[in-house]
Amino acid sequence: MSDTTTFVHEDPWRIFRIMAEFVDSFQTMSQVGPAVTIFGSARTKPNDRYYQAAMAIAKGLAHHNLAVVTGGGPGIMEAANKGAAGVGGKSVGLNIELPHEQSGNRFANLPIHFHYFFARKVCFVKYSLGFIYMPGGFGTLDELFEVLTLVQTQRIPQFPLILFGSEYWKGLLAWMKTRLEKDKLISPGDLELVKVTDDADEVIAIIRDYERRVGHPGTLPKAFM
């Protein structure tokens, strides 16, 4: 049997693996409580200012009984998990095995392992009431635009989307304004869906204000119905 034929015939069985991954992760994440996801580069070193900022933000969130969710790997993810775990908070790592840089960090006290990227991405969005984007690469940008699209299209509530590091994000935001907004490829006000800051305390204040005012959605967001 050719590789192509084998692949097609295995598809129905692959569905069970996908189902199992959703069931296991949903069962665990549904018990975590209010959570915030922190995204950022796996390549950031411990002496980097953004690593230190991610730790500080995670500590602040954990002090207010908010679980901290990351991709479970090194760099910014490690920093956030370390910050939350260091003060006794819930430190969730949604890890996925990759050929290169991704391996689970030891600071996630609630690790969940994924084979499928799409299942992992659903868990980031389904169980968080805010999203923080530290400087990162393709993966961070992928998560930013995924969540931004869901908010823009009203498939999920208008959760806080916080870009940390104005120097890092300013080029992308300028391009979005001069190309996407100017050419009317997005709607007026769409860029206001994100908040840019360099202040860790402001990040925590934004998340806490949203939690007090709105909290978790009263009904299941359209994206998950």
Reported as a single tens digit per residue, the pLDDT across 95-149 is 997 766 557 899 999 999 999 999 999 999 999 999 999 999 999 999 999 999 9
Question: What's this model's pTM, rounded to 2 decimal places?
Answer: 0.93
Angle at the Cα of 27 from the Cα atoms of 11 and 22, rounded to 5 degrees: 15
pLDDT in tens, 21-38: 999 999 999 999 999 999
In this structure, the number of other CB atoms found within 10 A of the CB of residue 65 comes to: 11
Residue 8 pLDDT more than 60?
Answer: no
What gap in Å lies between CA 6 and CA 111, rounded to an integer? 33
Judged by DSSP in three states, 162 sits in strand
As given in the structure block, the two tokens for residue 113 are 């392992």
Separation CA 83–CA 187 (nearest Å): 37
Query: What's the pLDDT band for 93 if we cut at 50, 70, 90?
Result: very high
